[in-house]
A and B are shown apart, each in its own frame.
Chain A
Amino acid sequence: SYVLTQPPSVSAAPGKTARITCGGDNIGSKSVHWYQQKPGQAPVLVVYDDSDRPSGIPERFSGSNSGDTATLTISSVEAGDEADYYCQVWDRSDEHRVFGGGTKVTVL
């Protein structure tokens, strides 16, 4: 089955940029979705189809995907961005929905 690899943690100072990677074999050929999950809450979709944002998600959240790595970029990081972030793809070979292990973002 398809495997997605994320770093366990990423940190950034307020106002700086946080980048979260999601590695997978030729992930650039798949559509990657990203979720934000704050403690005690359900996940929220922040980026879908590599780089699209759902309504209500700030432009500070952006995504890219190429080769073996997809990236979620959070610009001008704010304290409220502290959360766990998960990448996810649809593996069409077996129709499974696959998540990365998650990355904890800490705002310094």
Chain B
Amino acid sequence: EVQLVETGGGMEQPGGSLRLTCAASGFILSVYEMSWLRQSPGKGLEWLAYISTAGNTIYYADSVKGRFTISRDNAKNSLYLQMSGLRAEDTAIYYCARESSSSLGGAAFDVWGRGTMVSVSS
């Protein structure tokens, strides 16, 4: 079964750091582009970061650029999001998602994890 599982969420104080992990199974992570996204409570979906298959091309949303770092270890079939300088507005469910290889237009997310909750509060 194709699956993504996020771990590493929890409660953190403003200014703190967390590292999220996304474990892939049922497919070979190395052939897929990946992204992190989030959803604040009661709000819509927000894309955060993209990483190419080899990890040498990375893009960030303006809201997290300079604070969050996306990375991957294809040998471990894992994707990561290092979050620092956390703010209250970073409170959200964080999802990792796979970009479809079937989409000619590009950047369609065909597999999502169930998400991990991050709460930032003093």
Contacts and interface: CB of A to CB of B under 8 A. Distances in A.
Interface of A: 1, 30-33, 35, 37, 41-45, 48-50, 52, 54, 84, 86, 88-90, 94-102
Main secondary structure of the interface of A (DSSP, over half): strand
A43 B45 contact: yes
8 contacts: A33-B108, A35-B109, A41-B114, A45-B110, A48-B108, A50-B105, A97-B35, A102-B44
Contacts of B35: 97
Interface of B: 35, 37, 44-47, 50, 59, 61-62, 95, 100, 102-110, 112-115
Nearest to B107: A90
A86 B105 CA distance: 17
B112 A42 contact: yes
Contacts of A84: 44
A35 B44 CA distance: 12
B105 A99 contact: no
Contact of A99 (B45, B59, B100, B114): B45
B45 A102 contact: yes
Contacts of B61: 96
B106 to A, nearest CB: 5
Given A1-B62, A42-B113, A45-B109, A31 B104 contact: yes
Given A1-B62, A43-B112, A97-B35, A31 B103 contact: yes
A101 B42 CA distance: 11
Contacts of A86: 44-45
Pick the 3 closest A-B CB pairs, nearest first: A31-B105, A90-B107, A97-B47
